[in-house]
Amino acid sequence: MLHKQDGITIREALSLDAVNRLRLAGGHSGLDRVIRLVNIIEGPDMMNRIKEGDFLLATGCPFREYPQLLALLIPRMAEQGGAGLAIKPERFLSEIPAELIQSADRHGIPLLEVPSDLSFSEILAPILGVIFNKQNQVLQKLDQAHRKLMDIVLHGSPLEDLCREISRLIGNPVAILDRDMRLILAEECPELEQVARAVTECGPAIREDNVSFGHIKAERYSLEYTGNNNKTQALKVLRLPIMAANSVYGFMFALCRTPIFEPDLLILERAATIAALDLTRRKAIFEIERNYRSEFLEVLLSGDFESEEEMVKRGRTFNLDLLKPLAVILINDDSFNEPPGKSPADISGPGSKEMLLRSLNRFQELQPQMKLLAGTRGDNIVIVAELNEKKPSLALKNLADSLLQYLCGSEKINLDLKVGVGRPYTDLHKVSRSYQEARESLKICQLSCGARQIHFDELGFYKILCEKSKKELERFVEDLLQPVMEYDRAKNGELLQTLETYYQVNRNLKLTSRKMSTHYNTILYRVKKIEELTGVRLDNPESALNLEIAVNILKLFRSEKV
C-alpha cells in the first residue's frame, strides 16, 4: 500500500492550480489514494499495464470504441492499486456513464470529470511537479544517508554504530545478524529483547510475504510472542540479505514499530550493501588469521621445530600458553570428506569446516576460561587445548564434553560429528604424539555407528584396530560370528547375547546365568551350541580370545555411546 511519502493524494492534487477545476463524479471514499504516475488511456491494452499508484487520463473515445472498458477498467484499477481516473467526455460521450460512476463508488476509485477547455498537459504538469519534487527530496535524503553510513564504515566504526544510525534514519530499531549468528545492534536500543526475539525466533512466523519496490526485495513476517503482561503480542519484521559476490554474509532486520516506507527500504538496502563491505573485510581478516593459525599448527603438530622458546612466543599470539599441559582434539563429519569431483559444500552451509570453525570461535567467546586453538588439517578440524595444570585429564574430559554439547546442542547443527581425543602432555615436543593418539581415537570413533567421541585413554585393546579398515574388521567378525547370528535370527535365540554376557563377567558361567536370569543348564547348552557353530572351544585361550575380540568389535559397531 502506497503512502503520501511516495507521491501525492487525489485530495492534495485537487488543490493544485488547474487540477482544481476537475469535478469529482464518483469514488468519494478514495480521495486519499496516492498518485505516483500519470498515464493516458488510448485503448484496452492499457488494462494490462496498470500499476499501483497510476492516475489515468482518458477521453471518451476509448469507452465508445471499447464498451467493455466500462465494466472492466475500475475493478482492474482497484485490483492493481490504481489511484484514480479522470475522463474528458465531450466530443465522444455526452456525459460520464452512470455504470462507470457506480463502479467507482463501489470500489472507492475517484472518478473525475475534465472540463473540455482543460488539456491533459495542464493536469500532468502540476501533479508530476509535486511528485518529482518529493522524489528529489527522497534522493537527497538517500544521498545524505549513504554518505553518513559510508563515513561510519570507512572510519572503522563498529557495526553497532551503523545500526544506531540506520535506526535513527528510519525511526525503527535495526539489527544485523552476521554469518556467525552474532546479533549486532546499538546497546541503547530500547527494545533489545524484542529485536533479539524477532531475529532469533523467526521460525514460528504467523504471516510471511515478500515486500518489493522495484528491484528491492525484502522478507516480511509477523511473530507471535507473550509479553510481560502475559498477553499475546505480534512483532512485524523486515529482513534484507547482506550480500557480496553472490554470497550471503548475514541479514539486516528492521522491527516495524512505525510504518516502513519506500525511502526507508532504500536506506536499508544501501545500509545492507555498506554492511557487506565491513563483513567481507572481517572475512578477509579471518582467512588471513586462519592461514596463520594453520601454518603454526602444522609446525606444532609435526614436532618439526628447533626453538621451543620461539614456539612458546608464537603461541602467546594465539592466547595459548604452550608451557602448560596440552592435548589435541580432532573433529570430523562425513560431509567433510567429499569424493573427488564433487563440488565443495557452501561456506555457510551445514557440514562445512568453515561453519564449525566459526562455531568454535563463538564457543571460545562464551567460554573464555577454556583456551584452545582451532584450525584444519586434511579432512579434520584440529584443536590444541591448553589445560589445567593440576588435573589436565579431567579438564580435557570437561572441555571435550562441553564442546561436543555446544556444537550439537546450542548450535543446533544437524551433523554426525565424530571426535577423537589424545592424551595431555606437558612436553611441547609430545604434542605431536597427542595428535597421533587423537587420530587413532577418531578412527575407532568413525568405525562405531553411535559413538560421538573417544579418548585415547579409553581405547584399551581397540588400539590394535587402528591399522585395520572397517571392511577387514567386518570380515573378521563375520568369519567367527556369522553362524551364531544366523542361528539367532532363525530361532529367535540369544546365543550372541549369552556370549557377550559371558565375556562381560570374565567367562564365569554361574555369573552369566545369574545376570541373564536364565537357568544354568540353559547357559551350558547355549555355550555348547556356540562352540558347535563356530568351531571354537571356549576353554582354548587363543581361539576364545579371537571370539572375544570379534564380540567387542561387533559391540563397537553398534554402540550407542562410549
- Residue 415 binned pLDDT confidence (cut-offs 50, 70, 90): low
293 in a domain, yes or no? Answer: no
Same domain, 443 and 499: no
Residue 155 has a pLDDT of: 72
299 in a domain, yes or no? Answer: no
- Residue 111 pLDDT greater than 90, yes or no: yes
Q: Domain containing 534 — which CATH number? A: 1.10.10.2840
Tell me the mean pLDDT in the region 154-163: 78
Same domain, 108 and 161: no
Same domain, 428 and 495: no
Residue 466 has a pLDDT of: 58
Residue 91, phi then psi, degrees to nearest 5: 90, -35
Q: Domain containing 11 — which CATH number? A: 3.40.1390.20
Q: Domain limits at 193?
A: 156-283
The last residue of a domain, from among 252, 283, 314: 283
Enter the pTM of the model.
0.51
Same domain, 218 and 276: yes
479 in a domain, yes or no? Answer: yes
Same domain, 387 and 438: yes
Tell me the mean pLDDT in the region 532-548: 82
414 in a domain, yes or no? Answer: yes
The last residue of a domain, from among 131, 147, 177: 131
Residue 347 has a pLDDT of: 34
- The residue ranking higher by pLDDT, 18 or 63, is 18
Report the alpha-carbon distance of residue 320 to residue 360 in Å, rounded: 15
Instruction: Characterize 451-473 residue by residue with b for buried, 16 or more Cβ atoms within 10 angstroms of its Cβ, and e for exposed.
Output: bbbbbbeebeebeebbeeeeeeb
Same domain, 550 and 520: yes
Number of structural domains in the chain:
4
Same domain, 371 and 516: no
- Residue 61 pLDDT greater than 50, yes or no: yes
Range scoring the smallest mean pLDDT among 27-41, 124-138, 389-403 = 124-138
Closest CA to 321 of 259, 408, 392: 392
Residue 189 has a pLDDT of: 60
173 in a domain, yes or no? Answer: yes
Same domain, 423 and 528: no
Q: Domain containing 187 — which CATH number? A: 3.30.450.40
Tell me the mean pLDDT in the region 204-218: 54
Q: What confidence tens digit (pLDDT) does each residue in 301-318 have?
A: 988 888 889 999 998 988
Same domain, 254 and 381: no
Same domain, 247 and 350: no
230 in a domain, yes or no? Answer: yes
- Residue 423 binned pLDDT confidence (cut-offs 50, 70, 90): very high
Residue 234 has a pLDDT of: 64
- Residue 224 binned pLDDT confidence (cut-offs 50, 70, 90): low
509 in a domain, yes or no? Answer: yes
Provide the pairing of β-strand 23-26 with 111-113.
Answer: antiparallel
Q: Domain containing 354 — which CATH number? A: 3.30.70.270
Tell me the mean pLDDT in the region 119-132: 89
As a 3-state breakdown, the chain gives helix, strand, coil percent values, each rounded to 5, of: 50, 20, 30
Residue 110 has a pLDDT of: 95
Percentage of the residues of the chain whose pLDDT score is greater than 70? 81
Same domain, 450 and 529: no
- Residue 38 pLDDT greater than 80, yes or no: yes
Same domain, 308 and 257: no
- The single residue listed with the C-alpha cell 490504481 is 82
The last residue of a domain, from among 447, 465, 483: 465
C-alpha dihedral sign at 302, 304, 306, 311: negative
- Residue 425 pLDDT greater than 90, yes or no: yes
146 in a domain, yes or no? Answer: no
